[in-house]
Structure 1
Amino acid sequence: MSLIGFWRLIQGRLFPPANPTASLEGKTVLLTGGTSGLGLEAAIKYINLGVSSLIIACRNVERGNEAKKAIEQRTKRASSSASFDIQIWPLDMASYQSVTSFAQKINNEVPHLDIALLNAGVMHRKYTQTPDGWEETLQVNALSTALLGLLLLPKLRESRDTATGAPAHLTFVSSGSYRHAKAGELQPGGANSILQHLNSEESFRAHSQYRLSKVLVEYTAKSIAGLTRCDDGSLEVIVNSACPGFCRSRLGREYDAWHERMFVAVFELIFGRTSEQGSRTLVSATMLGEESHGKWWRSDQYPDISATLTGTSEGKVLQIRAWEEIVGELKLRSPEVERLGRCN
């Protein structure tokens, strides 16, 4: 780790982001990955900020219902009251079919969607392939997240605030680790396909796979931000990404050796923000104005990304290529993806 990286960890630990306080009264929020860690803490914040409806999407409905009880206990508010409700909807981000069915249900059954916070993510230490034929970190973090973001656009586009005219929000949860990715990791030796390279078991490395999946998340956020800005400069949906910083979380739950678990526990205790502190950034990102469109939000600011794969000219060329590949793959799973990418 460089001295700069070490200093960033210290800063993040000593200076957590501000707690969002603006009212979200009457808003409807969709949160993926909301059963533990950052997602659970974000859910609690949304309830405390006054949302009228919170939809928590999760793979395990039983765990979702347990999270719902925990939220009610910690906020001292029962979702059976008339003021708000918490709904648990099944969603398996490792399945394209689950994602498309979920999005269809949102578009058909939810009258209004003000905020979509796409937080679900994994980091596998071993190569694991989904039934759709993709390495799971790649599909869950990047491909299915891009698919869900695109399929939610119809509902988000029609959910502009009737009182203020403000657009709805679509926020992707990112990671600061993406800044350390190199172009050669995405496309070594001029490989023909970025996605096929990342899907290869031979090229799989756990930590690099996670950060590269987050590069694709950034490319997705910026590409969809471009799609939702109309020719006259107006925005149909505010699209941004957010990094909670280094937090104590369950992402490292696959460490099984005792010495690995001990190292992770001590490292997180010394340098990690709490999940509550990290969730502040996620929630505040979904409350930012149009100035946040297409930007990366971390620790109450928009960090300089000029030297990253989203800021350099080489990175921007890779973004175009990666997005073309992502859309090409997703169109095979959901033909409406191409239509949804056009500005209304």
Structure 2
Amino acid sequence: MPFFQPPVPSLPSGIDLSGQTAIVTGATAGIGLEISRQLILYKVSNLIMAVRNMSKGETVRKALVSDPAVKTANPHVTIKVMELDTENYASVQRFVSAYQLAFQDLHLLMANAGIGTAVKELASSGHEMDTQVNYLSNVLLTLALLPMLETTANKTGKPTRITWTGSRMYEKTSLAKKLPLQKGGLLNHFNTAEGISMLQRYGDSKLLCVLFQLELAKHYPPDKVIINSFCPGLVDTGMTDVLPIYMRIPANAMKALRARSPQKAGWIALNAAVVAGAETHGRLLGDMEVEEPSEFIKSKEGQKCQLYAAGQHADKWNSLFVSDESKIPTNNPEHGIGRDTAAQTRINRVFNEMRSPLIAFDAMLFSNNLSYAQPTMAPSWNRDTRASELVPYYAPQIAGKTILVTGVSTGGLGERFVKQIAVANPSILILAGRSTSKIRVVIDELGAAHPEIKVKALALNLLSLADVRKAAETLNSWADIPHVDVLVNNAGIMAVPYSKTEDGFESQFQTNHLSHFLFTNLIMGKILASKGPRVVTVSSGVHRVGHIRWSDYNFNDGKHYQRWLSYGQSKTANALMGLSLAEKLGTRGLLSFPMCPGTSITNLSAHGANDFASFAADLTQMDNIYGNKWCWGMAEMQMKDPDQGVATHVFAAFDPSIAEYNGAFLAGCHVADPDQEEVYSWATSKVDAERLWKLCEKLVGQEFKY
């Protein structure tokens, strides 16, 4: 790098920000103040100065309003000072909420606030201070305001902008020295590692910024919002004032010799923010030119750090904003634009993609010189665990597998399951369902997001045993599918009105159980051809209200029908089938687990949508009869969100530590304890399992001897 910095050209003429609203963080001094001044001179209509010290912010605002150049160029500008302390998450949350209540649009976010601490400090979040201020809070601010920026872009027909103040100092990262990372990942490394110099701590925080934007750009295209950063070079600001005297003197001498003026730093900033185009999306600009990533970033270790950093902090955004809906207002005419539902949905999908492949890189990917601590045992999962937590952890078990899932249509658990595991690179996904057109929608979405995965559709109509046989015959004929590693019997219907299938069986019993029994056995050759075969059968806690009606499984042709009693019977049958498979084929390597996914809103409950009160009352009546006091009045029903709703699917399909519990009933991402949980003897009895197997062989007209 040359001693003297290259000259900085002035900005092109014709820049006009009339009608636009911009946020500048760290706006009371240095580069942030200069950015604010130049935005005003380019006629921005609304400028929000996001500052830590409100009193100082008001002083600066008054000075700007009184500036003769401002009075001449933009006399009607609205300058508002809002509190934002980037040392803690809560302040970011309050700022976002307050902004969305006060303003309808956002065209530009300049995330400029930053520090370089002389000694190691921890912020209130428990994270190292440079990391918190320069990186974490900027990530949360960016992701929380992104839906509003996208919605503004939709209104104007032009991309909006997010520009961060970056630095080439990211090349000074401590990770480039390959220090061993501490247990807990990147953040814990920066929080706890000793012996990292001030320059390296600052460089670490700026490296995280570069990594995050590079990864975000892979998932979020620049058609709506262009996201970039800029390095202003060495600038004559007061940032060195925090240094100890022995460092401040040489730093100030260096500034006197080669520092740029704040005005020129402002030109560099606004070039990135309002001049440069989509080619800068996700990139760092130095001296107004896109910089090539450092050798460390391009290295194997750097690429892994990029994935981990992006996902870990998208996950933090999810926990602080998505899971607490009260903190960010939805669309409300009284409150301006709030969040556009379509934009929010799209962005949620982007960040779920970013979250999913990352959490377990500490367990599986890093080299010996740059590695996270290997866990000595599987984590303790529970009912609140999310599939997006599990998929990275089980990525080695998922990668390269052929996985067949029944019941994969939009809005159901099957769709959610395959989309979650797709990020871990299975080799082949086979989606089975009655409506191939509905499956095609999911296949197209998977293909767009994961073109490297082979996805096949299999027509499987569970209401017809003849069609089930055709589906099995089709699968068995596929030469490109020599084996099926994991079968997830997920399809089902719930609490529907009474009807019989063409085969003469009550529809819930056949759809949920009997057809799966036949299909699973007919393709067992493909399953057992796998080196590690596994069958997951989705049961339900509602088995509590339905043991097997051995001599009246058809409910006396409907005369004795109760929709939840029927559903409960089918779910008990699912549990018993899972147990039977383990008993009969465990010695041949097959693992089989029945499981309860918990309660979440899916298309399964469509039949109860029009009269939910009656729908719920019927279940409560059955619980009363069976003495299931925990569910009287459904008062203790705990709902899961979609991510939690398929977590036990993932656990059952891929957890290697549960092999010793082959055939056990799983719930809440663990092996259920019948003494402590709602798992009933009629769903776990080996005697009943064998009796049901023989009954089903009789009903389908075929024996399966193993």
* Smaller-chain TM-score bracket: 0.7 to 0.9
Q: Provide, for residues 232-286 of structure 1, a one-character-per-residue CA deviation record: whole Å limited to 9, x for no partner.
A: xx622111111111111222111242x5333222110101111111111111111
Number of the residue aligned with 1:216? 208
Equivalents in 1 of 2:256, 2:12: separation in Å?
Answer: 24
Q: Which residue of 87, 91, 94 corresponds with 1:94?
A: 87
Matched position secondary structure for 2:298: coil
Number of the residue aligned with 1:123? 116
Q: Which residue of 105, 115, 118 corresponds with 1:112?
A: 105
Work out whether residues 58 and 64 of structure 1, in 8 Å CA contact, stay in contact via their aligned partners in 2: yes
Q: Is 2:171 the counterpart of 1:179?
A: yes
Q: Is 2:276 the counterpart of 1:276?
A: no
CA gap of 1:109–1:178, structure 2 versus 1, over 3 A, is: same
Number of the residue aligned with 2:462? none
Equivalents in 1 of 2:106, 2:41: separation in Å?
Answer: 18
CA gap of 1:78–1:68, structure 2 versus 1, over 3 A, is: farther
Number of the residue aligned with 1:167? 159
Number of the residue aligned with 2:306? 319
Q: What's the CA shift for 1:336?
A: 4.7
CA gap of 1:219–1:67, structure 2 versus 1, over 3 A, is: same
Q: What's the CA shift for 1:203?
A: 4.2
Q: TM-score, normalised by structure 1?
A: 0.87
Counterpart code for 1:284: N
Equivalents in 2 of 1:17, 1:179: separation in Å?
Answer: 25
Q: What's the CA shift for 1:189?
A: 2.4
Equivalents in 1 of 2:310, 2:100: separation in Å?
Answer: 24
Q: Which residue of 236, 239, 250 corresponds with 1:248?
A: 236
Equivalents in 2 of 1:116, 1:301: separation in Å?
Answer: 20
Matched position secondary structure for 1:160: helix
Number of the residue aligned with 2:272? 285
Q: Provide, for residues 69-115 of structure 1, a one-character-per-residue CA deviation record: whole Å limited to 9, x for no partner.
A: 23223353359x87211110000001100001111222332111110
Number of the residue aligned with 1:10? 4
CA gap of 1:151–1:82, structure 2 versus 1, over 3 A, is: same
Equivalents in 2 of 1:118, 1:65: separation in Å?
Answer: 19
CA gap of 1:270–1:18, structure 2 versus 1, over 3 A, is: same
Q: Provide, for residues 127-164 of structure 1, a one-character-per-residue CA deviation record: whole Å limited to 9, x for no partner.
A: 2222221121111111111111110111111011745x
Equivalents in 1 of 2:284, 2:81: separation in Å?
Answer: 28
Work out whether residues 18 and 300 of structure 1, in 8 Å CA contact, stay in contact via their aligned partners in 2: no
Equivalents in 2 of 1:35, 1:184: separation in Å?
Answer: 34
Matched position secondary structure for 2:227: strand
Equivalents in 2 of 1:52, 1:266: separation in Å?
Answer: 39
Q: Which residue of 17, 22, 28 corresponds with 1:29?
A: 22
Counterpart code for 1:270: L
CA gap of 1:153–1:336, structure 2 versus 1, over 3 A, is: farther
What does 1:143-154 align with in structure 2 at a 5 Å threshold?
143-154=136-147
Matched position secondary structure for 2:295: coil
Counterpart code for 1:246: L
Equivalents in 2 of 1:29, 1:184: separation in Å?
Answer: 36
Q: Is 2:188 the counterpart of 1:200?
A: no
CA gap of 1:269–1:74, structure 2 versus 1, over 3 A, is: farther
Q: Is 2:21 the counterpart of 1:51?
A: no
Q: TM-score, normalised by structure 2?
A: 0.44
Q: What's the CA shift for 1:342?
A: 2.4
Runs of 4+ deviating beyond 6 Å: none
Equivalents in 2 of 1:96, 1:241: separation in Å?
Answer: 22
Work out whether residues 150 and 224 of structure 1, in 8 Å CA contact, stay in contact via their aligned partners in 2: no
CA gap of 1:336–1:29, structure 2 versus 1, over 3 A, is: farther
Bigger shift: 290-299 or 84-93?
Answer: 290-299
Considering only CA atoms, is the larger Rg found in Structure 1 or Structure 2?
2
CA gap of 1:171–1:202, structure 2 versus 1, over 3 A, is: same
Counterpart code for 1:207: L
Equivalents in 1 of 2:114, 2:82: separation in Å?
Answer: 17
Q: Is 2:249 the counterpart of 1:262?
A: yes
CA gap of 1:117–1:76, structure 2 versus 1, over 3 A, is: same
Show structure 1 runs of 5+ residues with no match: none
Q: Provide, for residues 51-76 of structure 1, a one-character-per-residue CA deviation record: whole Å limited to 9, x for no partner.
A: 00100100001111121123223353
Equivalents in 1 of 2:289, 2:253: separation in Å?
Answer: 28
Q: Provide, for residues 165-202 of structure 1, a one-character-per-residue CA deviation record: whole Å limited to 9, x for no partner.
A: 211101111101112336345x6225441110101162
Identity %: 25
Counterpart code for 2:121: T
Equivalents in 2 of 1:289, 1:42: separation in Å?
Answer: 19
Counterpart code for 2:5: Q
Work out whether residues 150 and 341 of structure 1, in 8 Å CA contact, stay in contact via their aligned partners in 2: no
Matched position secondary structure for 2:99: helix
Bigger shift: 114-123 or 315-324?
Answer: 315-324
Higher relative contact order (CA 8 A, sep 6+): 1
Q: How many residues align?
A: 327
CA gap of 1:171–1:250, structure 2 versus 1, over 3 A, is: same
Counterpart code for 1:271: R
Work out whether residues 32 and 118 of structure 1, in 8 Å CA contact, stay in contact via their aligned partners in 2: yes
Counterpart code for 1:314: E
Number of the residue aligned with 2:285? 297
Matched position secondary structure for 1:68: helix
Number of the residue aligned with 1:188? 179
CA gap of 1:215–1:341, structure 2 versus 1, over 3 A, is: farther
Matched position secondary structure for 1:120: coil
Work out whether residues 17 and 299 of structure 1, in 8 Å CA contact, stay in contact via their aligned partners in 2: no
Work out whether residues 173 and 203 of structure 2, in 8 Å CA contact, stay in contact via their aligned partners in 1: yes
Counterpart code for 2:218: G
Q: Provide, for residues 6-35 of structure 1, a one-character-per-residue CA deviation record: whole Å limited to 9, x for no partner.
A: x1x4133xx124335411122111100110
Work out whether residues 25 and 32 of structure 2, in 8 Å CA contact, stay in contact via their aligned partners in 1: yes
Work out whether residues 210 and 283 of structure 2, in 8 Å CA contact, stay in contact via their aligned partners in 1: no
